[in-house]
């Protein structure tokens, strides 16, 4: 958010729009900007540049919105962050916990849950591709920004790819596990019957 | 009108030893329409090539149907099926011939059964120019870089002016920029010729220029819902709290 304000001052609505356009695949929700701006103002990294007057789409009431800009401290902070090494924390989701707590009887349901997750992730990648295509069509291939956009979007795609590949492996593993449990219970039944 | 290619509950398995059976495809279903580009994302040895071979009429499935323009591919005689593969269905793969042919001869090869050598070579040149690899025409196939081989393979596939193009992981060994250019190229060819493309890939960045994405593993094909369709139970957008979700 700070980086967006370093690029250009904006109001919260504009920031939400720019955030969705630039980092769409991350699933940011509307209202994120307002929340983040509060923290940034508290840290003196952002300040109010002024208030702009606008008209709500479809006519009606005037809208007054604050326009924010990065402070000198904010710009310095952003520059240091840009040059620092990245440290991404591992993402833990409910699915990890479900797989960890899964019992043999839960396997058929878990396979369905994982397959659904795979469908959703594949759909997310598909939707991301649509956005990337339309954005890239609008950019000149020779443009520096277009070349950087290629890197950013492939990073987003790689995130979903790793997700899909992990889910593929988990599903195949759970299916094998279910087949093994099924075979074991059948052989137990045969032994009991022979006794 | 139905889909150009329609696979319905296709299953393929191979016998390994006396007892072991490997299931490569299990009830895989997929439709590809005219002008549509569909990418199947899968890791190695997950049945990508088998899926394409079934779609090309080269691998009879144990059960299920593969229809091309409404015709059951495996209900056709061998002669009609091979004629389809020579003219209407093209298969592009990065592994070319083991013999050291000039690229122009390699690209012209599928046409030699139907056209004179001169005409086949003229069309091969046009195809190479279209994919931006005309400068490779006189080089030997063995001397090409991976990126050039991918272009030559696409040229060889489109030289016969097919309606369906099947592409087997052409971008696996390419970098970001080359993968992007191949994707754009396939998109522009498909748009200009109204060609349907089914491509199997191992990297997500190769799917950018494709309309639809499917995932294949353990023989099961998981197809992403079309835009506006219900994706089913969404277990990804957890947690429900917006701030926690944003932090993911």
B158 burial class (0-12, 13-18, 19+ CB within 10 angstroms)? buried
Could you tell me if residue A68 is inside a domain? yes
**Does A20 sit behind a cis peptide bond, omega within 30 degrees of 0 on the bond before it?**
no
Q: Are A98 and A79 in contact (CB under 8 A)?
A: no
User: Strands B164-168 and B89-92, how do they pair?
Assistant: parallel
| Of residues A67 and A64, more confidently modeled | A67
Helix (H) or strand (E) segment spanning residue B213: strand B212-217
Contact status of B197 with chain A (Cβ, < 8 Å): no
| Of residues A44 and B173, more confidently modeled | A44
Contact (CB<8Å) A127/B41: no
List the domains of chain B with CATH numbers. 1-88+164-175+188-224 (3.40.50.300), 91-161 (no CATH)
List the single residue in B220, B224, B236 with the smallest CB-CB distance to A117: B236
| Max avg pLDDT among A140-149, B49-58, B97-106, B234-243 | B49-58
Q: Are A122 and B223 in contact (CB under 8 A)?
A: yes
- Global pTM reads 0.72
Percent above pLDDT 90 for chain B: 45
Could you tell me if residue A147 is inside a domain? yes
Cβ-based neighbour number of residue A161 at 10 Å: 22
Mutate to test the interface with A, among B39, B207, B210, B245 (most CBs of A within 10 A): B207
Q: Determine the structural domain holding residue A30 and report its residue range.
A: 2-83
Whether residues A149 and A75 share a domain: the answer is: no
Whether residues A138 and A112 share a domain: the answer is: yes
Helix (H) or strand (E) segment spanning residue B157: helix B146-158
Q: Are B27 and B218 in contact (CB under 8 A)?
A: no
Report pLDDT for A136.
76
Provide CB contacts within 8 A for A151, sequence distance 6+: B176
Whether residues A117 and A55 share a domain: the answer is: no
Name the token pair of B196: 């349907």
| Of residues B38 and B218, more confidently modeled | B38
Whether residues A99 and A185 share a domain: the answer is: yes
Whether residues A12 and A98 share a domain: the answer is: no
Whether residues A70 and A31 share a domain: the answer is: yes
Report pLDDT for B88.
92
List the single residue in A29, A126, A175 with the smallest CB-CB distance to B213: A126
**Cα distances (angstroms) measured from residue B211 to each of A143, B85, B177:** 25, 24, 20
Size of interface A-B (CB pairs under 8 A): 119
Could you tell me if residue A88 is inside a domain? no
Q: Are A32 and B246 in contact (CB under 8 A)?
A: yes
- β-bridge partners, B102: B140
Last residue of a domain, one of A83, A103, A118: A83
Last residue of a domain, one of A83, A115, A140: A83
**Mean pLDDT calculated for residue range A118-146:** 81
Whether residues A101 and A189 share a domain: the answer is: yes
Whether residues A6 and A62 share a domain: the answer is: yes
Q: Tell me how far apart the alpha carbons of residues B65 and B25 are, in angstroms, rounded to a whole number.
A: 13
Contact (CB<8Å) B232/A116: yes
Could you tell me if residue A39 is inside a domain? yes
| Max avg pLDDT among A79-88, A144-153, B227-236 | A144-153
- β-bridge partners, A50: A67
Query: Using one digit for the tens of pLDDT, what is the confidence trace for B35-46?
Result: 999 999 998 888
Nearest-by-CA chain A residue for B181: A141
Could you tell me if residue A11 is inside a domain? yes
Q: Residue B137 — very low, low, confident or very high, per pLDDT cuts 50/70/90?
A: confident
Q: Residue A27 — very low, low, confident or very high, per pLDDT cuts 50/70/90?
A: low
Name every chain B residue with its beta carbon within 8 A of the beta carbon of A143. Answer: none
Contact status of B243 with chain A (Cβ, < 8 Å): yes
Contact (CB<8Å) B217/A168: yes
Cβ-based neighbour number of residue B23 at 10 Å: 15
Mutate to test the interface with B, among A141, A164, A169, A175 (most CBs of B within 10 A): A164
Mutate to test the interface with B, among A123, A150, A156 (most CBs of B within 10 A): A123
Last residue of a domain, one of A37, A60, A83: A83
Contact (CB<8Å) A158/B205: yes
Could you tell me if residue A89 is inside a domain? no
Q: Residue B235 — very low, low, confident or very high, per pLDDT cuts 50/70/90?
A: very low
Whether residues A111 and A79 share a domain: the answer is: no
Whether residues A16 and A100 share a domain: the answer is: no
Reference A174, options A112, A120, A124; nearest CA is A112
List the single residue in A32, A122, A163 with the smallest CB-CB distance to B213: A122
| Max avg pLDDT among A21-25, A57-61, B90-94 | B90-94
Whether residues A136 and A68 share a domain: the answer is: no
Whether residues A117 and A168 share a domain: the answer is: yes
């Amino acid at each position: 958010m700070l980086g967006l304000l370093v690029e250009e001052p904006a109001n919260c609505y504009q920031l939400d729009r720019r955030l969705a356009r630039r980092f769409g695949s991350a699933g940011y929700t509307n209202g994120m900007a307002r929340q983040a701006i509060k923290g940034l103002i508290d840290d003196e990294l952002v300040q109010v540049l002024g208030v702009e007057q606008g008209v709500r789409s479809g006519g009606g009431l005037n809208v007054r919105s604050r326009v924010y800009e990065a402070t000198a401290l904010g710009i310095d902070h952003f520059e240091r962050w840009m040059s620092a090494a990245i440290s991404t924390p591992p993402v833990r989701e409910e699915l990890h916990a479900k797989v960890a707590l899964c019992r043999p009887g839960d396997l058929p349901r878990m396979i369905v849950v994982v397959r659904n997750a795979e469908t959703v992730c594949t759909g997310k990648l598909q939707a991301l591709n649509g956005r990337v295509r339309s954005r890239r069509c609008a950019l000149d291939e020779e443009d520096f920004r277009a070349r950087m956009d290629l890197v950013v979007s492939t990073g987003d795609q790689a995130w979903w790819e790793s997700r899909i590949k992990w889910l593929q492996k988990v599903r195949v593993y759970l299916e094998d596990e279910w087949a093994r449990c099924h075979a074991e219970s059948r052989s137990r039944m045969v032994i009991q019957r022979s006794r | 009108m139905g889909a150009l290619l329609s696979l319905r509950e296709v299953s393929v398995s191979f016998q390994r030893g006396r007892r072991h059976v490997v299931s490569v495809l299990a009830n895989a279903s997929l439709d590809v329409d005219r002008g549509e580009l569909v990418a199947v994302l899968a890791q190695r040895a997950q049945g990508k090539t088998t899926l394409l071979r079934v779609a090309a009429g080269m691998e009879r499935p144990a059960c299920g149907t593969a229809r091309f323009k409404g015709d059951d591919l495996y209900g056709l005689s061998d002669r009609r099926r091979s004629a389809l593969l020579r003219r209407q269905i093209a298969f592009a793969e990065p592994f070319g011939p083991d013999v050291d042919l000039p690229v122009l001869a390699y690209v012209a090869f599928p046409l030699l059964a139907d056209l004179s050598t001169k005409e086949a070579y003229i069309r091969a040149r046009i195809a190479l120019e279209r994919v931006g690899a005309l400068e490779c025409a006189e080089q030997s196939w063995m001397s090409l870089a991976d990126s050039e081989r991918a272009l030559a393979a696409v040229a060889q596939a489109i030289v016969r002016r097919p309606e369906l193009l099947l592409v087997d992981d052409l971008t696996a060994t390419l970098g970001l920029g080359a993968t992007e250019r191949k994707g754009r190229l396939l998109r522009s060819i498909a748009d200009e010729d109204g060609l349907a493309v089914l491509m199997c890939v191992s990297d997500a960045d190769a799917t950018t220029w494709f309309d639809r994405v499917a995932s294949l593993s353990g023989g099961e094909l998981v197809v992403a819902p079309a835009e506006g369709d219900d994706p089913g139970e969404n277990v990804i957008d957890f947690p429900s709290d917006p701030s926690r979700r944003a932090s993911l």
